[in-house]
Every structure is written in C-alpha cells, then in structure tokens.
Amino acid sequence: MYSNKVAGCDIFCFTENFASAYVSARFKMAVELAKLKGFDFRREVPLIDAS
C-alpha cells in the first residue's frame, strides 16, 4: 500500500513517474512559512492505496 510506504516521508516520487515529486502537508507548510519561491502547490493529488 502506498500510504504505508511513504509514511513519515516529506518528499518522495514513485518509480512509475520520476517527472513529479510529491510532498507532505508538513513540507508544504514549511516552504510557505519560509516564503521560498519556485514551488507550485496548486495541484493536490490524493494518495490512494493500490489494491
């Protein structure tokens, strides 16, 4: 299950798609609090467990 594999990780990608990085809400909040530029958080992708 994906959720078990990424538990506790703040940034990760899947081997099926190295073009995108996925980040946790904690990572997003840290970037926004630090006012870092160059991040695009407009698209939210839910983590759905593989069956």
Q: Taking a C-beta distance cutoff of 8 angstroms, is the pair 10, 27 a contact?
A: yes
pLDDT of residue 30: 93
Task: Evaluate whether residue 48 is within a structural domain.
Answer: no
Instruction: Tell me if 41 is assigned to some domain.
Output: no
Reported as a single tens digit per residue, the pLDDT across 6-51 is: 777 787 776 676 677 788 888 899 999 999 998 888 887 776 665 4
Does a structural domain hold residue 22? yes
For residue 34, what pLDDT is reported?
A: 96
> What is the extent of the structural domain holding 27?
2-34
User: How many structural domains is the chain composed of?
Assistant: 1
Q: Is residue 43 included in any domain, yes or no?
A: no
- Helix (H), strand (E), coil (C) string for 1-51: CHHHHHCCCCEEEECCEEEEEEECHHHHHHHHHHCCCCCCCCCCCCCCCCC
Q: Give a yes or no: residue 12 inside a domain.
A: yes
